[in-house]
């Protein structure tokens, strides 16, 4: 930060929330929200107190995927989050009509992010999962500049285009000295329903290789699974199923790996913003 730039506000924890985990991606279309939703549901199923904040204000898909569609109520001076599947949920989708687009600039985005972080009565949470919009823009910076996060989970697919953008997301967190918990490769493969053959639709091994090259943890491969898509569309996430279910097993395993990574990293630490002129 240059000497003439304004001082950034301090990064502070959220009352009652032990760990804030950002789920992000360098580009859209990689299933980031699907991962965030099933991660939150898996963590809750494993006995943790969990909240899910939908910070993807331009495309808030969390309400549909979580099967909740209601108007949040006031709780004193704060907003009471909605809840389903043991997960407390807040989304712009609860406040904005489904088909109405948002045309907002940076300051407005900053305001809604802060309202969702500190103006919602989250209560006591072990994990607050924040589903960020794709890219490295205003919403991401608003979160990182003001909130002490434990770390980020970067979602990619095996394709070269997606991996190129995933690297940018990792580098963004490094630039602000935020912890990257690891990289998840989504849509890694498709299992043919009749033959059981594993088909590499978008390539093979790119996520693991990228994680190795960048020195970040590789958190695993998630399949391209019609049951996962169906669960998201119907508001019944596949992670609601028992961990022995083959369609849900990878998400439950991912949740356990992230808990392990959080224990390795320790408590949240406020990143130091350093933006080049």
Residue 29: which of 56, 66, 52 has the closest Cα?
56
pLDDT at 10: 55
pLDDT at 99: 57
Q: Is residue 151 part of a domain?
A: yes
pLDDT at 95: 75
Q: Is residue 2 part of a domain?
A: no
Q: Is residue 158 part of a domain?
A: yes
pLDDT at 28: 86
The secondary structure of 160-211 as a DSSP string is HHHHHHHHHHHHHHHHTT--EEEEEE-S--EE-TTT--EE-SS-SSHHHHHH
Q: Is residue 271 part of a domain?
A: no
Q: How far is the C-alpha of 128 from the C-alpha of 149, rounded, in Å?
A: 10
Return averaged pLDDT per consecutive 10 residues of the chain, 277 residues in all: 46 86 90 96 97 85 93 87 96 72 55 83 96 75 78 94 92 85 94 82 87 95 94 96 92 97 77 43
Q: Is residue 5 part of a domain?
A: no
Give the domain extent around 37. 18-265
Q: Are 220 and 183 in contact (CB under 8 A)?
A: no
pLDDT at 3: 45
pLDDT at 265: 87
* Residue matched to tokens 């997606």: 162
pLDDT at 273: 42
pLDDT per residue as tens digits for the range 74-93: 888 898 999 999 999 999 88
Instruction: Output the domain CATH number for residue 206.
Output: 3.40.50.300
Number of structural domains in the chain: 1
* Residue matched to tokens 């493969």: 189
Q: How far is the C-alpha of 206 from the C-alpha of 143, rounded, in Å?
A: 29
pLDDT per residue as tens digits for the range 162-177: 999 999 999 988 887 7
Q: Is residue 126 part of a domain?
A: yes
pLDDT at 11: 65
3-state secondary structure of 75: strand
Q: Is residue 197 part of a domain?
A: yes
pLDDT per residue as tens digits for the range 219-254: 999 999 999 999 999 999 999 998 889 999 999 999
Residue 118: which of 143, 153, 152, 139 has the closest Cα?
143
Q: Is residue 23 part of a domain?
A: yes
Q: How far is the C-alpha of 211 from the C-alpha of 189, rounded, in Å?
A: 18
């Amino acid at each position: 930060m240059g000497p003439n730039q304004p001082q950034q506000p301090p990064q502070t924890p959220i009352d009652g929330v032990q760990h804030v985990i950002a789920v992000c991606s360098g580009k859209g279309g990689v299933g980031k929200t699907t991962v965030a939703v099933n991660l939150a549901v898996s963590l809750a199923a494993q006995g943790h107190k969990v909240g899910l904040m939908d910070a993807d204000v331009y495309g808030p898909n969390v309400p549909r995927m979580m099967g909740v569609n209601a108007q949040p109520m006031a709780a004193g001076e704060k907003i009471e989050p909605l809840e389903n599947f043991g997960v407390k949920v807040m989304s712009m989708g609860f406040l904005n009509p489904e088909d109405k687009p948002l045309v907002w600039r940076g300051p407005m985005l900053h305001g809604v992010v802060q309202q969702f972080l500190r103006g919602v009565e989250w209560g006591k949470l072990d994990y607050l999962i924040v589903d960020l919009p794709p890219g490295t823009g205003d919403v991401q910076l608003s979160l990182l500049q003001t909130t002490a996060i434990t770390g980020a989970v970067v979602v990619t697919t095996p394709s070269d285009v997606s991996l190129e953008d995933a690297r940018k997301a990792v580098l963004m967190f490094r630039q602000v000295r935020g912890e990257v918990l690891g990289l998840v490769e989504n849509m890694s493969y498709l299992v043919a329903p009749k033959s059981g053959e594993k088909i590499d639709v978008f390539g093979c091994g790119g996520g693991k290789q990228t994680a190795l090259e960048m020195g970040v943890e590789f958190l695993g491969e998630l399949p391209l699974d019609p049951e996962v898509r169906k669960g998201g569309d119907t508001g019944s996430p596949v992670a609601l199923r028992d961990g022995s279910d083959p369609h849900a097993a990878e998400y439950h395993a991912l949740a356990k790996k992230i808990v392990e990574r959080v224990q390795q990293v320790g408590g949240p630490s406020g990143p130091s913003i350093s933006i080049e002129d």
